[in-house]
Homo-oligomer: A and B are copies of this chain.
Amino acid sequence: MRRQTSIPDLITGILNGNRLALSRAISHVEDEQISTRSLLQGIYRHTGRAHLIGVTGAPGTGKSTLVTQLARSYRQQGQSVAVLAVDPTSPFTGGALLGDRVRMNQLSGDAGVFIRSMATRGHLGGVAAATADVLLLLDAAGFERIIVETVGVGQAEVEIASMAHTTVVVEAPGLGDEVQAIKAGVLEIADIFVVNKADRPGTERTISALEMMLEQKHGGERTLRHHGQVMIVTLPDPVPETNSWQIPVLKSVATAGEGISTLHDAIEKHHTWLHNSGMLAIREEARIVHTLEALIHTELNRRLRIAVPATMVATLVTAVRKRTIDPHEAAARMIETISNSNI
């Protein structure tokens, strides 16, 4: 096979289901190559067919095993599936790649599965933006189900998981404080809760705690969270409560394959509900707003770097440190420079 270096070749390759082209395109996004934009523009109109499933939860909940089992379950029903594991805090691919290999062994030799880890720390456009771009590539490549798995429970993880159509939050009994779920804001993004490792003591207590939290949060519809700070539009109101989604709290023992088919069914049921309720369009638009904010932000930053000379920044920063001028004054001067530069 010859090397595919040109963007048109890459695009054709992705749309034809060529794995090597897809992998190379993902690397383009990771490495922030300038060709990424034309690549994404080329594939964009072929996207929008995949069902995106976000899986998040604290370390130690057994997320990875659950995701692997879920992918296998999709394969058994004949659906193609891609798994994207994102660790927003890791600058290394070493560990992640090892994890990939373990999983590959379990799902190897199957052309309907694609597994990839992303190392995105330090990505200029942000982890979420990079993840969104890779999801578009996987979507264009024709995968029917795409699982985005995030490691950890920080803000970035919540942001990534909430980009999906259906967000699954994994809990486990005995991890200490059940209230962690609220702390990290995952309660607001969950469409489905799964208490994994449900053969351990404390399972029922964890389930009760989650159900109690869900009752307190009247309604049942997830909040359209917005971490982007631009907030260029007010999003439409969610659907009326009469048509709302009741967030289920499921159980699983992923290592034994228990509870996987129930989870699978709940995800598909949510998928159907999204289509029938009109929520799919609302969530898609929320996601697009988020993407646009990130793109605009990146572009304005680029202009700022070009317009304001480094010497000017250094002088202003030193003046602020010496309390000669205040930060607002310094910021105003830089903005004035951008406005005058007409870039």
The residues of A with any CB-CB pair to B shorter than 8 Å are: 37, 40-41, 44-45, 47-48, 59-60, 87-90, 124-126, 151-156, 176-177, 180, 183-185, 229-234, 281, 284-285, 288-289, 291-292, 295-301, 304-305, 308, 310, 313-314, 316-318, 320-321, 323, 326-332, 334-335, 339, 342
A190, B177: Cα distance in complex, Å: 25
Most buried by B among A300, A318, A329: A300
Which residues of the partner chain B approach A88 to less than 8 Å between Cβ atoms? Answer: 155
Q: Which residues of B sit under 8 angstroms from A45, Cβ to Cβ? A: 323, 326
Q: Of A90, A233, A299, which is in contact with the most chain B CB atoms at under 10 Å from its CB?
A: A233
Would A323 and B60 be within 8 Å (CB), given that A155-B88, A285-B317 are in contact?
Answer: no
Nearest CB in chain B: distance from A223 CB, A: 11
Residues of B within 8 A of A313 (CB): 232-233, 289, 292
Please give, as numbers and ranges, the residues of chain B lying within 8 Å of A87 by CB-CB distance: 183
* A327 near B44: Cβ-Cβ < 8 Å: yes
Check B155–A154 contact: CB distance below 8 A.
yes
Apart from A45-B326, A289-B317, A296-B304, 18 more pairs, CB < 8 Å: A37-B328, A41-B326, A48-B323, A60-B177, A89-B184, A90-B183, A126-B229, A152-B183, A153-B154, A229-B298, A232-B304, A232-B334, A284-B321, A292-B330, A292-B331, A292-B334, A295-B328, A299-B331
